[in-house]
Amino acid sequence: MENFSEKIQSLRNEYSDLDLTSEDLNQDPITQFTKWLDEAIETQIYEPNAMVLATVDENAPRSRYVLFKNIVNNNLIFHTHYESPKAVEIFANPNVSGIFYWAEIHRQVRFQGIARKADSQISDEYFKTRPRGGQLSALASAQSNIISSREDVTNKIDELEKEYEGKEIPRPDFWGGFAIEVNYWEFWQGRRNRTHDRFCYKPEENSWKIERMSP
């Protein structure tokens, strides 16, 4: 059997010859982000809105994937259980960072910012768009808590389905959105021979300063 270390070290994927120049970038990072995300959607990348979200728990970082769902007032919106570990960590320390990675088009977007509980109207409006099964699971799941089996959740969903049969399912107070006000952006375009193009946006007075970074 091949040595696992050698197997990992031998992994090689070459990137494209696509360029990313300062002239290609919009002065507004939100506009640049939505342009790239739209191109990822058009490329039919699986879950292009999946983003890694990193939070801090007593100075120890923790990361997981969440689904980005909207931009409101230039803030990135995602939704979760307000009693989940990620939410508890955000309430204690609102500094977060995140990454979108679209391997098929050799692009990455990294950001840092401050996360706050989203306005209840944003959470209510999104909850109404969720499939009924997703609404029921939000009510049934005490996210990240230890359970004995999947049936702990599915049985609760069955109970709730009977309770709300023929009725609108209300958004529970313990579930809703977070809004991330981004204060740092980084756009990365993969290139051959690791000569990647990489730019960061930093706030400067009432605008953004764009700088090229070494790959």
* 77-130: pLDDT as tens digits: 999 999 999 999 999 999 999 999 999 999 999 999 999 999 999 999 999 999
Q: What's the pLDDT at 5?
A: 82
Q: How many CB atoms lie within 10 A of CB 41?
A: 12
Question: Residue 1 above 60 pLDDT?
Answer: no
pTM of the model: 0.91
Q: What's the pLDDT at 189?
A: 95
198 close to 212: Cβ distance less than 8 angstroms: yes
Work out the pLDDT band at 145, boundaries 50, 70, 90.
confident
Alpha-carbon distances, residue 113 vs 56, 121, 146, 148, 173 (angstroms): 13, 22, 30, 37, 25
* Domains annotated on the chain, with CATH: 16-131+173-212 (2.30.110.10)
CA atoms of 145 and 62, how far apart (whole Å): 16
182 close to 115: Cβ distance less than 8 angstroms: no
Q: What's the first-to-final CA gap in the chain, in angstroms?
A: 35
Assess whether 150 carries a catalytic annotation. Answer: no
Q: What's the pLDDT at 114?
A: 98
CA 145 distance to own-chain centroid: 22
Provide the angle, in degrees to the nearest 10, between the axes of the packed helices 132-140 and 151-163.
120
CA atoms of 139 and 8, how far apart (whole Å): 42
Q: What's the pLDDT at 2?
A: 65
Which residue in the list 110, 194, 198, 212 is annotated as catalytic? 194
Work out the pLDDT band at 188, boundaries 50, 70, 90.
very high
154 close to 70: Cβ distance less than 8 angstroms: no
Q: How many CB atoms lie within 10 A of CB 209?
A: 10
